[in-house]
Amino acid sequence: MHVLTVISHPNQDSFTHAIAHRFCEGVKDNGNTFEIADLHAENFDPRWTMHDLSDAPSNATSVEIRREQERIERADAICMAFPLFWFSMPAMMKGWMDRVWTYGWTYDQVNDPNQSLQRSRIGVMLVPAGGNPEHWQPFQFEESMEVLWKAGMLGYFGMTDKRVHILNSSEGSHERRMRLLDRAYDVGISL
């Protein structure tokens, strides 16, 4: 199995990067291969532009977007690692999704709106969240994010096995952070 791990965090020393790399160690230790797409280090442009719109119907994509799509085509599983920002993902990750998972390549909302054009894959989201989940429970934020990401994004992307891991209290103690890193490793080795 080959795994594409997409990281969205500008700081190479961030906990998000640590989580992603620990996940990849688990992938490797299970005999699988991986590649990393570090969106900030690679200067990915997340802006959705008129060029993207004009390309959509003809499926004539830019070199940058085609490179990302080729990475996806090589992958049997895709892991997206990003910190939780205002109960969502950072703009860089959202822009990657908006620009790379294009109409006509990922989905066809006219002829078959419920079917992805992509082959079946495993989809993983590793989401470090600094907050205390006890503050979220009354509002069911975690459940809402999972529904949005599993049904609205990973489903359209052809992910039939969808795994969302919100890694709560990632700003906690050293021991807490080590347990979250171990959890990321376990997710990687379980693929």
For residue 9, what pLDDT is reported?
Answer: 98
- Over pLDDT 70: what percentage of the chain? 91
Burial of 16 (0-12, 13-18, 19+ CB in 10 A): buried
8 A C-beta contact, residue 141 and residue 89: no
Q: What tens digit of pLDDT does each residue of 131-141 get?
A: 776 766 777 77
For residue 57, what pLDDT is reported?
Answer: 47
Q: What tens digit of pLDDT does each residue of 165-191 get?
A: 999 888 888 999 999 999 999 999 999
Asked if pLDDT for residue 99 goes beyond 70, the answer is yes
Amino acid type, 111: N
Q: Is the pTM of this model over 0.85?
A: yes
Residue by residue, DSSP assigns 125-176 as EEEEE-S-HHHHGGGTHHHHHHHIIIIIIITTTTEEEEEEEEEETTTS-HHH
- The CA-atom distances, in angstroms, between 29 and each of 34, 37, 61, 180 are 11, 20, 36, 18
Q: How confident is the model at residue 85 (pLDDT cuts 50, 70, 90)?
A: confident
For residue 59, what pLDDT is reported?
Answer: 47
Q: What tens digit of pLDDT does each residue of 36-66 get?
A: 999 999 999 999 888 777 655 454 568 889 9
Identify the CATH number of the domain defined by range 2-189: 3.40.50.360
Structure tokens at 129: 């969240």
